[in-house]
Chain A
Amino acid sequence: MAENLINLTIDGTPVSVPKGTLVIEAAKQTGVLVPHYCYHPGLPVAGVCRMCLVEIEKAPKLQIACATEVAEGMVVHTHSAQAKAARMGVLELLLINHPLDCPICDQAGECELQDFTFQEGRPASRFSPTYAKRFNPVEDFGPDVLYVPNRCILCTRCVRFMEDVAHEPVLNVSERGDRAYVGVHPDARLDHPWAGNVVDLCPVGSLLSKDFLHKARAWELDKTASICTGCSQGCNVTLDARDDVVVRIRPRPNLAVNSYFMCDHGRANYRWMNRGDRIEAPLIRQPDGSHRAVDWDEGLDHAAEILRGAGGSAVALVSPRTSTEALFLARALLTDLDWTGSFQTVMGEEAPLPGVPNLALRAERAPNATGAELLGYHRDYARALAALEHAAVALVLDDPQVAVPPAGALIYLGTVLPDDAGAAVRGADIVLPITNTAEEEGTFVNRDGRVQRYWQAKPGPGMAQPAWWVLGEILAKLGRGPHLATAAEAFDRVAQEVEVFRGLTYSRLGFGGQVVPRGAGVGVPA
């Protein structure tokens, strides 16, 4: 490997990078961000914005860092007077036709034109104010995309995404000179299942999400690393919450999973995180069939009591949207009994993103089906329902639509109680309120066996607690394990006790996740 490394100096910092690396990427390694617009690591190089001009010693003129490969002994100055003057020139030119409507622009606060203008732009334009700026009306490009041509700086990221990544070239640059704008095919809409990425790719506020339109200012948003719950692909995402309400999901780069992208299905899949009709306290069933709200001590005691006296068979019906930790602990509660566990998933259409290998909106619309399978839950849901008829204990983990009432006791850990009076969980002996994905920490295992962490974006409602905490407490009350105070402790217990997760630690999962050992059996140690 070492002989394939190229040594160069960027702004006085020596750096070694693999052969073929672009100067702009090598600069990132030294902590230098060369300002740029058209360059994006997930797209083919265009070299058109001319913003990333840098000085390279011995080169006759300034070079664009995004299209220049590193060479041995190269000396790069990204902030020389010449390079800065060139970039200042580009910024001035970009602002000629860019409206200064930042106060009403959704991009403000996360706009690269704003950022770089503040960083190295000219304090005032020399473009005489008597000139009118280019004007074109706002266009409706697709189900969730608006195009504001006045703000467009023609970096062509959106055009290249649709052409080279989505393989559906419905966008182009129309007209030429300063009249140019991004055009959509007259007979097409920007309705590819992955089209929403053009909004993220747009460095300015030219392509906007209708869903997020005027919903929040960028600086009001709390950003939390998470995993998309839309399907079993496990795209890494960021949840943007404003005042503890999730208002937007955007992709978070992970080259091993989703590159820089996420699909529109996942992008729209956040409203459930904010629903208000949540269970807020533990509920114990009264003889007359009603539920009484209790505190956690009483609720946990009651649950432990049900399990302590139980014998015979048990059934666990779990949601493949719950954390690996909760799935494991639910199983751990029942291992002394003759238990069976199952889950069901919603299926949909598969929608691949052709330009990125092994990336698609998967037919299986659940983030943790693989985790459930690795932990011994099966997909034969009908069999599990049949087993309910003679089960002494049924444990339902956030699967509220169970219709068959069990023969024995029913413990329900859930986020909501369905309105439908026929739902079995409405008759549960005990209902324990748990948090949803946005309100807790935990892990999911994606379809390729990658264990990935998600973080807490907002507080849970009322007394709701993460399912792994609730289950851990019940186990502790039964004397079958320590109190679990954090998701890390819960996960590390999974890694200790389940063969396939052995060797993983919560902290080492990091932001990118780790793949569980391939071909390892799913064993439960005695």
Chain B
Amino acid sequence: MGFPHKPHARETVVLSQYFGDSDARGYKGWVKRGGYQALERARALPAAGVVEEVKNSGLRGRGGAGFPTGLKWSFMPKDKKKPHYLCVNADESEPGTFKDREIMRWTPHALIEGTLIAMYAIQAEVAYIYIRGEFTEPLAIMKDALVEAEAAGVLGKLKIHLHRGAGAYICGEETALMNSLEGKRGNPRIKPPFPAAVGVFGMPTTINNVETLAAVPPIMKRGAAWYKAMSLSNPKSTGTKLFSVCGHVRQPGNYEVTMGFPLKDLVHELSGGMRPGRTLKGCIPGGSSVPILNREETESCLLDYEGCVEKGTMLGSGGVIVFDDSADMVYEIMRLARFYAHESCAQCTQCREGTAWTMKILERILAGQGKLEDLDLLLDLSENMTGKTICVLSDSCAAPVVSGIKKFRGEFEDYISGKRRPVMVA
């Protein structure tokens, strides 16, 4: 088990305060650090008051879409006629993202507390934590923590179930996750109906990301105003966010910064910058599913929902994949396409066939057999794969391809013209 780095002076440590502090993992240690006070405070309020508080904090979903959390909770039916469920999306499978894993490894009770507050707010009796199948260690830690929390009586009559996934990327999509929980094939569902109306087992359901829920206890404890005040750029993006930095940096890891923090500083300062003699080529700021940024964009991007959109990309899950000048962008994009082709659930035609075709064209270019028309074909194909399917897996495959060809066209052309030697065999 690796210990995380010491917090950098420019980090704003809220969620990651006890990362590396193994005493905080247990129930006693967590209570000693002020744990479960937020839950008490929340339970003293009416449920609608908790929703209001979270709304006022400006907290937005940390799983990728950035939907306002309080607003999502308020969609649950007010007159309760059916059981309500909470799903916790701990199926963190976005390439380049490893923040939820650390939350569950070091502060399992933060997640349990946040889950209990959310259950109270949406009037759910049962919550399911859908945990990624490969997360064996976080699963064991969460299991222990849940047993402790139950023994300590903080759950009351509520039930929290841990459900282990079986290794499909698509099960991190909220409706696919629900199908998977129900024992069905993990296929995304068509919306509407939305989960707040018809969710898991056909009942009203709210689904939140681990990081989102872990941020709820501090909000309840210290108030919406405190959380809302944490914003360096756009006031619509508030609080802190964990960024998982990986790739060509000297100190990859999780860094927690206030919304609006410059991406440039995250890459060059917090995560140690490039290796000696290397220069930055670009990065993918929000997990593999968002458009790639080139160097200029990376160095001018502010890390919040609006700042990323301004640069033509998205904040996504906060998985920052950094490329230095040694990176072969054609190869990197092919690897991403291969991932999506492997993980497509096979429902929608554009995704099932399109991801595999994209991969094949990229492989052919890397084998030195590409044609210049292939680039237009890739762009046209990507257009066909964008905004036309049930979920966004297909869009996610298209995003790096389109931005990659736009920003690194020369690298593609070098393979096609033969200037660069093939790295694959057709």
Contacts and interface: CB of A to CB of B under 8 A. Distances in A.
Interface of A: 45-51, 53, 61-62, 64, 67, 86, 89-90, 93-94, 96-97, 126-128, 130-131, 153-154, 156, 172-173, 175-180
Given A126-B377, A177-B346, A48 B390 contact: yes
B396 to A, nearest CB: 14
A96 B357 contact: yes
A128 B364 contact: yes
Contacts of B347: 46, 48, 154, 156
Nearest to A173: B346
Given A50-B348, A94-B349, A172 B389 contact: no
Contacts of B344: 176-178
B346 A153 contact: no
A86 B190 CA distance: 18
B353 A94 contact: yes
B384 A93 contact: yes
Contact of A154 (B346, B364, B389): B346
A177 B349 contact: no
B222 to A, nearest CB: 38
Contacts of A96: 353, 356-357
Contact of B349 (A61, A67, A153): A153
Given A47-B390, A50-B389, A61-B388, A176 B343 contact: yes
A96 B346 CA distance: 14
B346 A175 contact: yes
Interface string B346-365: 11111011111100100010
Interface in B38-82: none
Nearest to B377: A126
A50 B364 CA distance: 28
Given A50-B388, A86-B388, A177 B350 contact: no
Interface residues of B, number: 30
Given A45-B190, A130-B426, 18 more contacts: A46-B190, A50-B350, A50-B388, A51-B349, A86-B384, A89-B384, A93-B350, A93-B352, A93-B354, A94-B353, A96-B357, A154-B346, A172-B185, A177-B356, A178-B344, A178-B352, A178-B356, A180-B352
B139 interface: no
A153 B350 CA distance: 12
B217 to A, nearest CB: 36
B15 interface: no
B345 A176 contact: yes
Contacts of A90: 349-350, 384
A61 B387 contact: yes
B349 A49 contact: yes
B146 interface: no
A93 B390 contact: no
A154 B349 CA distance: 8
Contacts of A177: 341-344, 346, 352, 355-356
Contacts of B346: 154, 173, 175-180
Contacts of B185: 172-173
A154 to B, nearest CB: 6
Nearest to A67: B190
Contacts of A131: 360
A180 to B, nearest CB: 4
A431 to B, nearest CB: 61
Nearest to A92: B384
Contacts of B352: 93, 154, 177-178, 180
Contacts of A47: 190, 390
Nearest to B383: A89
A153 B345 CA distance: 14
Contacts of A51: 349
Nearest to A134: B356
A89 B342 CA distance: 21
Interface string B367-381: 000000000010001
Contacts of B384: 86, 89-90, 93
Nearest to A98: B353
Interface in B323-357: 341-350, 352-357
B92 to A, nearest CB: 20
A93 B343 contact: no
A93 B358 CA distance: 11
Given A131-B360, A176-B343, A48 B348 contact: yes
A175 to B, nearest CB: 7
A126 B353 CA distance: 13
Contacts of A46: 190, 347
B374 to A, nearest CB: 9
